[in-house]
């Protein structure tokens, strides 16, 4: 499903070039659950943003679900994101003053899903993450773990092939973190491919495969 070949990426700040990824080769199959690990600053988030079609590459080839991503313009990248990818971030990124249900509906509004389908699909994903009884709560009325489950429901609502997840337990205590990892395990068992960045060994151990970055290269790839 994911094929990255010889990926290079630098950031440019004034006349200073910061090389971040220095030749990444990585293939991920449908149905895999992969943890991307490595020290702070090793390029994990940059690689994840490239996989999630949120950022472009300087050199190399990337294809996702049979589409050549490296040659696409911004509009096509947005279409790929909306059709294929769900996103989960460390800080949940929910809209504060609207209910869980309305937060979950947002990606479907962008994908032009009609109102009745939006309602029924939201109901289904709320069940899937175990939050049917919290649909009308706004984020501040929910615990951190519950907010992250709303964010996961929102990521699932367009039936993505791929979940792209950055430090999902970084803002949670260990009990809530464990519950979130169990939820990802169930989703992966249902067939969702997951690529997750984490710097924590016990969180990475929940995935089937661990890819370690060091200085912008893959240092280890173990299953
Ligand atoms: N938008 C940006 N502009 C400039 N430098 C950046 C930007 N994003 C990340 N970097 C730099 O790229 C390197 C890798 O960052 P990142 O991918 O976030 O690493 P990680 O997630 O492994 O901590 C860091 O040195 C960081 O300072
Ligand atoms: Mg990061």
CB 89 within 8 A of CB 169: no
- Centre of ligand 2 to C-alpha 62, Å, is 20
User: pLDDT by residue (tens digit) across 42-91?
Assistant: 999 999 999 999 999 999 999 999 999 988 999 999 999 988 999 999 99
pLDDT given at position 64: 95
- Centre of ligand 2 to C-alpha 37, Å, is 10
- Centre of ligand 2 to C-alpha 165, Å, is 11
Please tell me the number of the ligand nearest to residue 90's CA.
Answer: 2
Domains of the chain: 2-222 (3.40.50.300)
pLDDT given at position 71: 86
pLDDT given at position 108: 93
**Gap between the Cα atoms of 194 and 28, Å rounded:** 10
pLDDT given at position 99: 97
User: pLDDT by residue (tens digit) across 116-128?
Assistant: 999 999 999 999 9
End-to-end CA distance of the chain: 18
Q: By alpha-carbon position, which residue is closest to atom 27 of ligand 1?
A: 41
Ligand 1 pocket at CB < 6 A: 11, 13, 18, 20, 38, 40-46
Tell me what the pLDDT averaged over the chain comes to: 95
Bridge partners of 34, per DSSP, are 195, 209
In angstroms, the Cα distances linking 131 to 79, 162, 222, 223 are: 29, 22, 34, 32
pTM of this structure: 0.94
- Print the SS3 string covering the chain: CEEEEEEEEEEEECCEEEEEEEEEEEEECCCCEEEEECCCCCCHHHHHHHHCCCCCCCEEEEEECCEECCCCCHHHHHHHHHHHEEEECCCCCCCCCCCHHHHHHHHHHHCCCCHHHHHHHHHHHHHHCCCHHHCCCCHHHCCHHHHHHHHHHHHHCCCCCEEEEECCCCCCCHHHHHHHHHHHHHHHHCCCEEEEECCCHHHHCCCCEEEEEECCEEEEEEC
In angstroms, the Cα distances linking 136 to 48, 102, 126, 127, 152 are: 32, 8, 11, 14, 16
User: pLDDT by residue (tens digit) across 98-147?
Assistant: 999 999 999 999 889 999 999 999 999 999 999 999 999 999 999 999 99
pLDDT given at position 154: 96
- Which atom of ligand 1 is the closest one to the Cα of 48? 17
């Amino acid at each position: 499903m994911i094929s990255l070949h010889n990926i290079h990426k630098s950031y440019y700040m004034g006349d200073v070039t910061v090389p971040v990824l220095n030749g990444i080769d990585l293939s991920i199959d449908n149905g895999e659950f992969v943890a991307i690990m490595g020290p702070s600053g090793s390029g994990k988030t940059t690689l994840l943003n490239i996989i999630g079609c949120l950022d472009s590459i300087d050199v190399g080839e990337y294809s996702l679900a049979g589409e050549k991503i490296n040659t696409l313009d911004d509009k096509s990248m947005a279409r790929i994101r909306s059709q294929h990818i769900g996103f989960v971030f460390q800080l949940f990124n929910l809209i504060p003053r609207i209910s869980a249900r309305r937060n979950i509906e947002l990606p479907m509004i962008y994908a032009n899903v009609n109102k009745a389908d939006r309602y029924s699909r939201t109901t289904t994903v709320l069940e899937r993450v175990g939050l049917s009884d919290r649909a009308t709560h706004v984020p501040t009325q929910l615990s951190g773990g519950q907010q992250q489950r709303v964010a996961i429901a929102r990521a699932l609502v367009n039936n993505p092939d791929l979940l792209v997840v950055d430090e999902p337990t970084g803002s949670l205590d260990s009990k809530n973190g464990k519950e979130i990892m169990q939820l990802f395990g169930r989703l992966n068992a249902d067939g969702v491919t997951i690529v997750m960045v984490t710097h924590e060994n016990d969180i990475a151990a929940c995935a089937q495969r661990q890819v370690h970055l060091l200085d912008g290269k893959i240092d280890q790839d173990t299953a």
